Structure 1
Amino acid sequence: MSSIVVQEFVTLDGVIQAPGGSTEDDERGFPYGGWQQDYDRDHGADSDDDVILEWEKRTEALLLGRLTYSIWAQAWGLWPEDAPGLQGEFTRRYNRVPKYVASRTLTELGWKNSHLLGDDVPAAVAALRGQPGGEIRVWGSADLIQTLGAHDLVDEYRLMVYPIVLGTGKKLFPEGFPRTTLSLVETRTLGSGVQINVFRRPGAE
């Protein structure tokens, strides 16, 4: 059986929108694109890379919403695999692993090893989760996460919590998210002040 693992950079008020760049996702007029990168730059958060590297070594597939997939396909899907450092390492990994995409509008996917989930996303994800394998990683994809939560399909949340309050933006757990009980299985604070919290659903290993 595989595990659905949600990984997010998240603010204190739960925002996960556009952490990596000013033009990453400005839907709904979001004005704070790049908040995570800005914080890391200002606080010397080199240890964040170690955490992400540790986590991404376990990624056996990606599960993404339409917008996140489109952003990633224009980045990781185009960057050279021989780039130095983490960029090259992650590009090689993300190109290799299968990518499953939830979308009502996309009909073709240009990034290699990409697959549309079809009309019944919860059933498709449940089938993937039931297959032997490792971690199926979700990044971004706020709407998809709400769908997965509504069908109890998330096994683990790995959250890098930034000491920032934005007051606006897409949230990890927005109004209407289903009631969910989780166990805190790991917590640690990095030198930058970013806190790592890992929560697991009951019965998940």
Structure 2
Amino acid sequence: MRDLVVTENITLDGVIDASEGWFNPGDEDLSDVLGALEVQREAADAFLVGRQTFEDMRGYWPHQTDDPTGISDYLNAVSKYVVSTTLQDPQWEHSTVLRGLDEVEALKATAGKDIVATGSITLVHALATAGLVDEYRLFVYPVVIGKGARLFPGTSTPATLQLVETQPFRSGITLLRYRT
């Protein structure tokens, strides 16, 4: 069975909604963070998102031709899965629409590497509530926002998490990996 890994940028107080402008890695730290992301990309062969995140990414990443980060190349090549009851034609190569969490569970049962979910807060909450998340990889930013969508609102919080890795970066951002 494949692992479903949730990767999020998050504040110290658990906010993953970046609308307040806190998500801004400095140039001095970008190479370190990108290196950590590259390791994660190599461990995964499937990218899972909700419809809104998918549409936002589809409108941006395929059009980036001079992307030194490698993110556009990765997203254009990886198998993408979008959970949606309304999306008909994903219009992005290597994309498949899944109609519900039962199809996510079936995807986890197939052979392959990790399945990574990022952004997609509504989907991530549903995945956590359904017990489908195997690992959380959290890039924790040293800021406190006080408001916004949180990764663990109330009952979607797993009962216990086991810390398996801590990786600090020069800017104060820290990667925390937790297994459920």
Question: Could you tell me the TM-score, scaled by structure 1's length?
Answer: 0.81
| Partner deviation per Cα, 1:140-184 (whole Å, 9 max, x = no partner) | 011111111111111110011111111111111113315432211
Give the Cα–Cα distance (whole angstroms) in 1 for the partners of residues 92 and 63 of structure 2: 9
Give unmatched runs, 5+ long, in structure 2. Answer: none
Distance of 2:85 and 2:17 partners within structure 1: 20
The letter of the residue matching 2:126 is: T
Local SS of the residue matching 2:156: coil
- Match of 2:9? 9
Q: Which has the higher contact order (CA 8 A, sep 6+)?
A: 2
Find the aligned partners of 1:104 and 1:178 in 2 and give their Cα distance.
Answer: 25
| Pairing 1:112–2:101 present | no
Which residue of 23, 38, 41 maps to 1:56? 41
TM-score (norm 2): 0.91
Give me the identity figure in percent: 36
| 2:68 paired residue among 71, 82, 85 | 85
Q: Does 1:167 align with 2:172?
A: no
Q: CA RMSD in A?
A: 1.6
Kindly provide the CA deviation profile for residues 58-88 of structure 1, in whole angstroms up to 9, marking residues without a partner as x: 22011001111111111222222xx2521xx
Q: 2:82 aligns with which of 71, 84, 101?
A: 101
Q: Does 1:187 align with 2:166?
A: yes
Q: Which amino acid aligns with 2:86?
A: T
Which residue of the other structure, out of 20, 24, 28, is the alignment partner of 1:44? Answer: 28
Secondary structure of 2:71 counterpart:
helix
Q: 1:128 aligns with which of 96, 103, 107?
A: 107
The alpha-carbon deviation at position 52 of structure 1 amounts to 1.6
Q: Which amino acid aligns with 2:54?
A: Y
Q: Which residue of 2 aligns with 1:140?
A: 119
